[in-house]
């Protein structure tokens, strides 16, 4: 089945810095990838839909300028958290949807801690 | 606003017990209902339910969708400690292939 990787798996950064998280679809060309955020003991919240070759679609309440998404190829989407603050500390997970098999594959997630 | 509600939020049982987890949804452009198991990291896929009344089974887990009641249940029989996890259900939208709205999850703890 499709394998999705994320890098890094864990990152600690200082407040005010930017952090880039990569999501790769290893054996499937994904025109669409999804970015989720999960706070402790809460469910997954969809942040945005990443579309290859076009602008991402953001969910209500998610700041486009703070969470920059780039989907430059069919196998790579990146999420950049700009000027990160402690409240951005969370678990960020990407996923790809494999239409023919109708299955969603999640990446292993990236745990971000902003000090 | 699209909404998925799960109950109970948490559940503690003993090995061998049978549990039933509930999920209800109010989603425009509903396509399917998905169940996931989440342990320490990202969720793993369990079931996708599209048709009402057809039970899907995988080992000790089974699930069914009721489109009239806009709900689904996930049953786990003869629970084991390895079943301890958060169980998430999500409503798959008919637009924007793969877009899902998640419930808050049910945290299941199975004691030996």
Q: Which residue has the higher pLDDT, A87 or A28?
A: A87
Please say if the pLDDT value at position B21 is more than 60.
yes
Asked whether the beta carbons of residue B88 and residue A43 sit closer than 8 angstroms, the reply is yes
Percent of chain B predicted with pLDDT > 70: 97
State residue B96's pLDDT score: 59
Interface probe with B: pick from A102, A109, A110, most Cβ of B within 10 Å:
A102
Q: Which residues of B touch A105 (CB under 8 A)?
A: 45
Interface probe with A: pick from B98, B100, B103, most Cβ of A within 10 Å:
B98
Please compute the mean of the pLDDT values over residues B34-62 and round it to a whole number: 91
Please say if the pLDDT value at position B64 is more than 70.
yes
Please compute the mean of the pLDDT values over residues A87-109 and round it to a whole number: 86
Locate the chain A residue with the closest alpha carbon to B6.
A43
Residues 6+ apart with CB under 8 A from B53: B64, B65, B66
* Residue ranges of chain A whose CB lies within 8 Å of a chain B CB: 32, 34, 36, 41-46, 49, 57, 93, 95-97, 99, 102-109
State residue A52's pLDDT score: 85
State residue A1's pLDDT score: 54
Mean pLDDT over the full length of chain A: 90
User: How many residue pairs from chains A and B have C-beta atoms closer than 8 A?
Assistant: 51
State residue B33's pLDDT score: 94
Produce one character per residue of A22-55: b if its CB has 16 or more CB atoms within 10 Å, e if not. Answer: bbbbeebebebbbbbbbeeeebbbbbbbbbbeee
Please compute the mean of the pLDDT values over residues B44-51 and round it to a whole number: 90
State residue A30's pLDDT score: 84
* pLDDT tens digits for range A18-31: 999 999 999 888 88
What is the signed CA dihedral for A4, B98, B105, A10, rounded to 10 degrees?
Answer: 30
Computed over its alpha carbons, how large is the radius of gyration of chain A?
Answer: 13
Q: Measured between CB atoms, does B101 come within 8 Å of chain A?
A: yes
State residue B91's pLDDT score: 93
Q: Which residue has the higher pLDDT, A28 or B76?
A: B76
Q: Which residues of B touch A108 (CB under 8 A)?
A: 41-42
Q: Which residues of A touch B88 (CB under 8 A)?
A: 43-44
């Amino acid at each position: 089945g499709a394998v999705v990787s994320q890098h890094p798996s864990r990152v600690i950064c200082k407040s005010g810095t930017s952090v880039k998280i990569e999501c790769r679809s290893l054996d499937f060309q994904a025109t669409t990838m999804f970015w989720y955020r999960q706070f402790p003991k809460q469910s997954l919240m969809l942040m945005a839909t990443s579309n290859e070759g076009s602008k991402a679609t953001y969910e209500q309440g998610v700041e486009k300028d703070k969470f920059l998404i780039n989907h430059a190829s069919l196998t790579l989407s990146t999420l950049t958290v700009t000027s990160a603050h402690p409240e951005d500390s969370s678990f960020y997970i990407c996923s790809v949807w494999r239409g023919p098999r109708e299955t969603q594959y999640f990446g292993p997630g990236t745990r971000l801690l902003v000090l | 606003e699209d909404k998925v509600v799960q109950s109970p939020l948490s559940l503690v049982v003993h090995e061998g017990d049978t549990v039933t987890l509930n999920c209800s949804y109010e989603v425009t452009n509903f396509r399917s209902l998905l169940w996931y198991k989440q342990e320490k990291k990202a969720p793993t896929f369990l079931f996708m339910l599209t048709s009402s009344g057809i039970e899907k089974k995988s080992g000790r887990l089974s699930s069914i969708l009721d489109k009239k009641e806009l709900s689904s249940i996930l049953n786990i029989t003869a629970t084991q400690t390895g079943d301890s996890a958060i169980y998430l259900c999500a409503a798959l939208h008919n637009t924007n292939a793969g877009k899902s709205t998640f419930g808050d999850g049910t945290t299941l703890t199975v004691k030996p």
